[in-house]
Amino acid sequence: MTVSPTTVEPTTSEQLEAILAAAAAASEPLGSLLPNERAPLLRAVADALDAAADELVPLAMEESHLPEGRLRGELTRTTFQLRLFAEVLEEGSYLEATIDTADPDWGMGPRPDVRRMLVPLGPTLVYAASNFPFAFSVAGGDTASALAAGCPVIVKAHSGHPRLSARTGTIVKDALAQAGAPHGTFDVIFGSDQGVQALRDPRIKAGSFTGSIPGGRALFDIASGRPDPIPFYGELGSLNPVFVFPGAAKARPDEIATGFCGSFTLGVGQFCTKPGLLFVPVGSAIVDAVVAAARDIGPAPLLNDRIARGYEQGLRRLVEVEGVQVVLHADPVRDLAVAPTLVKTTVPNLLEHKDELLEECFGPASIIVEYADLDELTRAAEAFGGNLTATVHAEESETDVVAPLLTLLRERAGRLLWNGWPTGVSVTYAMHHGGPWPATTASIHTSVGTTAIRRFLRPVCYQQMPAALLPVPLRDENVLGIPRRVNGVLTKDDVRH
């Protein structure tokens, strides 16, 4: 395997200009492809990445320090996702094709023939994340959904895995070219300043990001502050609280302790869905069980120096809070490697120090919070801002007491789990990976699951347009066989006059 060293140099101004110009030029031809013509492009990318697994996985291991099994699984997820979006295109609902034929008797006055569908926003800038070098990086979910939508994609590579980014980028570009995608459909750029410069460029029509709250907020502010503001979909930080109800705590302390340990230490705690707080009844056997289980977990390397420094800082902040008891304190980070840390506190103390304790600590640390009664649990839940997930562990017999808490949590989280763990987000039709600020910059959208495509599409409608000038999905004959809403009713039938 040869990686040209020049590929990880920062993108030059000339290169950036050429990439932006090519993306702008690709916008119309890529966007005008029918959905079933664009689907093969996604499959071509998936096939090329799968074929390159033995080259890419070692590179990812070297740069991210993540183990082989995890990275192979992540690559599978990545290519599965690309193929799932190909299916979404062929199924066609995502277009939201809607046809209202002319109606002289329409309730508010005669209605013209109006036909609506979604069209791509245009060139999209995707900021890759460090913690998923495949699934949230160069060919990850944002890229897959934006390409599926018909938007040219420019990925701003993460500095944590530059060579993998360059190599993945080349494979994706080559696969797209061979599959007949317009030149400019995809490229990768390197360098923070280059990323900001691209985000400010009027040819960029949308941005997406996975990363920290300060980083995402800074970019969101740039995107919103442009002379022509653009949507910016940032998936930022999340605490992912877990609430264990008394019945569950009593019935299966060990199962919950083991599950929790597996989840908060998965990927060395570097998941945006890491459960950062575990609420248990005071005196529950879960506390000792968690500590015992976590003690068996040896040190593992963090992704990079920057993450390591951030983790050390976060940990210091945590353990210095008054009333926080360290129940399992690993040694400091050594050569990037670190073992799990657990601290314990009470609800009143959590509420008193919420600024310090309700801040994400990215890495293998979590807070166990003992609650005295359900009233305390409710007050704790009310203290949370937006989260990607909130989890409840309870017995079926406890649903009555869980229900009001779930109502509170729904206001504060994008995904609500029952007797499960928030890490390991499945890519499905119903999955939602998002939530109110600061979990995301745009709570009405998801970055995982098939509906992630909606972020990169805008509606256009045609009024009284002759068939020859209508896009194929909006013509009377439903040649694509997609679901459409015709005069208010979902159907796959042709339009009959």
**DSSP code for 133:** T
Residue 213 engages its own copies in binding (rule: CB under 8 A): no
Please select the residue that binds its own copies; options are 335, 461, 479, 494, rule is CB under 8 A: 461
CB 368 within 8 A of CB 318: no
Tokens of 388: 């990607």
What burial class does residue 463 get, using C-beta atoms within 10 Å of its C-beta: 0-12 exposed, 13-18 middle, 19+ buried? exposed
Alpha carbon distance 350, 323 (integer Å):
9
CB 337 within 8 A of CB 299: yes
* Residue 458, beta-bridge partner list: 119
323-340: b (≥16 Cβ within 10 Å) or e: ebeebbebeebeebbbbb
- Taking the least distance from each CB to its own copies, the nearer of 322 and 469 is 469
Binding segment for its own copies (CB under 8 A), chosen from 15-23, 50-58, 277-285, 433-441, is 433-441
Contacts with its own copies by CB under 8 A: the residue count is 93
Q: Which of 74, 272, 370, 376 is catalytic?
A: 272
Min dist. Cβ of residue 246 to its own copies (A): 17
Rule CB under 8 A: choose which of 322, 403, 496, 497 binds its own copies: 403
Integer Cα distance of 76 and 93 in angstroms: 25
Catalytic, 272? Answer: yes
Cis peptide before 253 (omega within 30 of 0): no
Q: Which amino acid is at 136?
A: F
Question: Can you say whether the dihedral through the CA atoms of 112, 117, 118, 122 is positive or negative?
Answer: negative
Say if residues 413 and 386 touch (Cβ distance below 8 Å): yes
Stretch that binds its own copies, among 13-21, 164-172, 345-353, 410-418 (CB under 8 A): 410-418
Where in 157-176 is the site for its own copies (CB under 8 A)?
none
Choose, from 74, 91, 235, 376, the residue flagged as catalytic: 235
Among 165-173, 188-196, 374-382, 460-468, which window interacts with its own copies (CB under 8 A)?
Answer: 460-468
Enumerate residues 464-483 that contact its own copies by CB under 8 A. Answer: 464-466, 468-469, 483
What's the min distance (Å) between Cβ of 69 and its own copies?
Answer: 12
Distance CA 458, CA 360 (A): 34
- Which residues within the stretch 49-78 sit at the binding site for its own copies (CB under 8 A)? 73, 76-77
Binders in 335-394 for its own copies, by CB under 8 A: 385-386
112 near its own copies (CB under 8 A): yes
Residue from the set 1, 9, 13, 28 that interacts with its own copies by CB under 8 A: 28
Q: Is 215 in the site for its own copies (CB under 8 A)?
A: no
Annotation says 235 is catalytic: yes
Least distance (Å) from its own copies to the CB of residue 292? 26
Instruction: Cite the DSSP H helix spans in 342-394.
Output: 347-352, 354-357, 374-382
Burial of 192 (0-12, 13-18, 19+ CB in 10 A): exposed
> For residue 58, what is the DSSP state?
H
Q: Is 229 in the site for its own copies (CB under 8 A)?
A: yes
CB of 206 to its own copies, least distance (A): 9
Q: Which residue, 8 or 222, has its beta carbon nearer to its own copies?
A: 222
Min separation Cβ 120 and its own copies, Å: 10
Q: Does 109 bind its own copies (CB under 8 A)?
A: yes
Q: What positions carry a catalytic annotation? A: 235, 272
